[in-house]
Structure 1
């Protein structure tokens, strides 16, 4: 059976879901927030992502013609997740076959609606379709790998005069099932779409995933973050950019800091912002239930752009929290396990 026939068969078996109107709360799939699935650079990347930690294996491959799907392209998946969750919570039938206008997608993800923006959207859809993923995440056995593309297929619809008036796309079953599970979706701040750098976008998703329920925040070793990002930047450049983000404080709803343990190893610290405690900006809700109709408040103000002082030292041990060791072991932060546990006061890292 030809690939073309199989594609037609899949489309014929799916019921069309028409995108819902209105200002929906943006939702993101937790697996996509926590693991390296996308290129963080706007430049053409064909180098595969090959990530393995504990029982998690991820392999992402691109074709030379289009390159790997980027973290900006992933905005289309955030739009899709938001539509699916909103429809499900309203008691509507959902489907992997989704129909929308380019205007609806572009305005939701904070883009312009010019012809240039429309062409960029089509290029993003091409990268999402041509990028292939193989992962053991959510498989019953570590040896089993689920293989898919971010979009199985997409087509342009035309009106009676032949002008494009819409887009149909099919999301993969792996993504669709994750979105339908309440535990695997988080509401994100709409200000996320205004973040211009690939690293800060990736870091916001990591922070939102891990720090959302942590009263004392969360800590990650710099080198572990470097591996978790799948960035092609050398570690020294990556570390410099992390320090710069801690200085600029661009992440909505969260504060960043840099600490050093007694061995001199750098840790990135992130906590939720609280106006009531004198911190800058507003916090993203700890847990935002599916179907929340209001926007999640945005974050830090310009006046907060200062680098926090390192607090993990011999003279300031009270301020030093443990690097969430128990939880981070489950979240693949093995690089923190070991001497980091001995550097700070003992405490639970459970979420």
Structure 2
């Protein structure tokens, strides 16, 4: 599966890894799923990404000629990670130097195989090679950063008669070592490649990494999500797009909904979808005794409900201890404990006294800070 191939100095030290045929499960590197490494837009971006949270720092830079690597370009890295893990698990020797045909790559990531698709693949490889990253992730020395490009180099291969014979590329050691660590790789749903929106794709990877298969899922503050996305969109626009995703429910394998805490903070919550489960309503109980519009009206095929009925079993979900520490909001632990006590007392009072809700009451219902644009009409 691997053969010695000598050309450039780096190539001379690497074995050539030929991708394996057959169906390969798509796998993604958790570090790339949890942090902002890619542009979420197909427009030409040269503005750097600067991210810092806890001990994690990331800076991503692009060159004007090619622009920053996009989250669609990252499909090539998912393909590479999938091939490396599958080959290793099958007993083959792997390497950072990979050779494959454009057809194999394009078919794996759900693209077409026309000449236009091949040209787009080459443009994606150029962006991955020219985008530079500096990060403290997996660097044990404090203040130390690892600097690399997503692809060290790549080239088109030709046979002895000058005919196209595939492409070869060299992956950076930072990415390769992450892929070889079972604890840092997750299998993803193949339907991910069908997601067309950049924010949809980014959110799926984040949800898959942090929510996993935990029954209660997890949740994030809107502002924290905006920070983790690296998006250039203003927060107000970003929040509106998140609400639109909640309305559409496009993420394979997960259900999204909104929550509002007692103090008014809006959260995006998610958990694994239940096969045959009910659709998500525009209003969901959060355990805080407040109504939470999701930015969309209820289903046109359902009778309107008369309001929320609080249940004594409502509770704040447990913290996601399986995820990384940065995502667990450790600095909020004491606030959460106090909030749980407040909510428990509120639920006890509300469960005993349930006044009927009329139009006057609803007029004073809390409003979320970001309403849908006026041209969006209910069904």
TM-score between both structures, scaled by the size of structure 1? 0.84
Does 1:279 find its partner at 2:274?
A: no
Moved more, 332-341 or 24-33: 332-341
SS where residue 9 of structure 2 aligns?
helix
What's 1:158 paired with? 158
Q: How many residues align?
A: 315
Question: Residues of 2 paired with 1:99 and 1:73: CA distance?
Answer: 18
- Aligned counterparts, 1:112-191, within 5 A: 112-191=112-191
Moved more, 246-255 or 330-339: 330-339
What's 1:314 paired with? 289
Conserved? CA contact 2:200–2:245, under 8 Å: yes
Does 1:343 find its partner at 2:343?
A: no
What's 2:326 paired with? 331
What's 1:293 paired with? none
1:308-349 Cα deviation digits (max 9, x unpaired)? 535342264843424737677712454982645533469xxx
What's 2:72 paired with? 72
Conserved? CA contact 2:213–2:272, under 8 Å: no
TM-score between both structures, scaled by the size of structure 2? 0.78
Structure 1 residue 142: deviation in Å? 2.7
Q: Which runs of no fewer than 5 residues in structure 2 stay unpaired? A: 1-6, 291-309, 343-379
Larger Rg: 2
Moved more, 159-168 or 184-193: 159-168
Higher relative contact order (CA 8 A, sep 6+): 1
Conserved? CA contact 2:45–2:68, under 8 Å: yes
Conserved? CA contact 2:128–2:151, under 8 Å: yes
Structure 1 residue 159: deviation in Å? 3.1
Q: Structure 1 residues 307 and 156, CA, compared in 2 at 3 Å: closer, same or farther?
A: farther
- Aligned counterparts, 1:37-76, within 5 A: 37-76=37-76
1:255-314 Cα deviation digits (max 9, x unpaired)? 000000011111000000122xx526xxxxxxxxxxxxxxxxxxxxxxx47545353422
Does 1:21 find its partner at 2:16?
A: no
Q: Structure 1 residues 227 and 91, CA, compared in 2 at 3 Å: closer, same or farther?
A: same
What's 1:294 paired with? none
Question: Residues of 2 paired with 1:329 and 1:98: CA distance?
Answer: 31
Conserved? CA contact 2:39–2:231, under 8 Å: yes
Moved more, 117-126 or 139-148: 139-148
What's 2:371 paired with? none
Conserved? CA contact 1:318–1:345, under 8 Å: no
Q: Structure 1 residues 345 and 179, CA, compared in 2 at 3 Å: closer, same or farther?
A: farther
